[in-house]
């Protein structure tokens, strides 16, 4: 993870400068950003509608790790995922929004984020995702994790909180209720986190901004 620095220029791109600016500053100052009800409402509604009409068969068991490291392990993680592509308007609009944030972070924080990958996640009652890191120092090219929640009328008694553990041992973990439109971002290598068991269906999008790790022996395709 490169050290973050804030540039002096004041980018003014698109419809979301306040949210994007808040996320940039939070990442710089704290390494994480939690923004309740912050996703543009039209986009949140469109993604929710899209989820309603997705067939169950679109969701597959989530693996731990990617590609060759793929292995299913129900003990660590029990939710289902569906990777997002750009083959329907809702997913296109999500990717446009996420790449807008990518450009903003690149200009504001000199990050050099190169690509973005994301999936829908469905946690049924009782599902969880135990404490884990999204990227490991030294080998990782996932730099920033981005999570958005699509749960209407979520009550604290519904469980399913995201627990974000701070790098400093003396700081309390952060507890995020997965309410509709809440946007969370954090440095992938620095914040272990977990999803507590949900007591009703819980929907989120999880995504990662990556650096380009290509070198001559191994081409890392953007996904």
By the criterion CB under 6 A, which residues form the site for ligand OGA?
Answer: 121, 129, 134, 147, 162, 193, 195, 204, 206
Give the residues across from 195 on adjacent strands.
Answer: 129, 162
Question: Residue 143 or residue 147: which is nearer to ligand OGA going by CB?
Answer: 147
CB under 5 to 8 A by kind: which of Mn ion, ligand OGA, none does 121 bind? ligand OGA
Shortest distance, position 183 Cβ to Mn ion, whole Å:
15
Q: Where are the beta strands (DSSP E) in 168-212?
A: 174-176, 183-187, 193-195, 202-210
Judged by CB under 5 A, the number of residues near Mn ion is 1
Residue 157's φ and ψ, nearest 5 degrees, are: -70, -10
Question: Residue 88 or residue 196: which is nearer to Mn ion going by CB?
Answer: 196
Structure tokens at 45: 């509604």
DSSP state of 188: T
- Residue 161, interface with Mn ion (CB under 5 A)? no
Contacts of 25-30 with C-beta under 8 Å, sequence gap 24+, read: 26/185, 27/105, 27/109, 27/144, 27/185, 27/186, 27/187, 28/4, 28/109
Picking from 137, 110, 113, the residue whose alpha carbon sits closest to that of residue 192 is: 137
Binding mask 122-151 for Mn ion (x = CB under 5 A): ------------x-----------------
Shortest distance, position 107 Cβ to ligand OGA, whole Å:
26
Q: Which residue is nearest to ligand OGA (CB)?
A: 206
> How far, in Å, CA of 34 to CA of 22, rounded?
9
* Cβ count near 196 (within 10 Å): 17
CB under 5 to 8 A by kind: which of Mn ion, ligand OGA, none does 146 bind? none
Q: Which residue is nearest to Mn ion (CB)?
A: 134
- Residue 189, interface with Mn ion (CB under 5 A)? no
Question: Residue 105 or residue 147: which is nearer to Mn ion going by CB?
Answer: 147
- Residues of this chain that bind Mn ion (CB under 5 A): 134
């Amino acid at each position: 993870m490169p050290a973050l620095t804030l540039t002096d220029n004041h980018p003014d791109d698109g419809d979301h400068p306040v949210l994007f600016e808040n996320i940039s500053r939070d990442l710089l100052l704290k390494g994480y950003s939690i923004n309740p009800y912050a996703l543009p409402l039209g986009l949140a509604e469109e993604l929710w509608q899209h989820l309603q009409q997705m067939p169950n068969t679109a969701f597959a068991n989530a693996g731990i790790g990617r590609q060759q490291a793929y292995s299913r392990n129900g003990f660590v993680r029990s939710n289902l995922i569906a990777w997002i592509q750009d083959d329907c308007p809702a997913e296109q609009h999500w990717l446009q929004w996420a790449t807008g944030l990518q450009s903003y972070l690149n200009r504001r924080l000199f990050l050099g984020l190169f690509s973005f990958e994301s999936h829908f996640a469905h946690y049924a009652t009782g599902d969880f995702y135990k404490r884990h890191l999204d990227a490991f120092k030294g080998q990782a090219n996932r730099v920033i994790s981005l999570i958005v929640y699509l749960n209407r009328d979520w009550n604290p008694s519904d469980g399913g909180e995201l627990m974000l553990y701070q790098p400093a041992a003396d700081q309390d973990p952060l507890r995020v209720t997965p309410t509709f439109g809440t946007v969370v971002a954090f440095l992938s290598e620095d914040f272990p986190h977990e999803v507590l068991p949900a007591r009703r269906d819980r929907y989120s999008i999880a995504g990662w901004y990556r650096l380009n790790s290509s070198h001559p022996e191994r081409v890392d395709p953007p996904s």
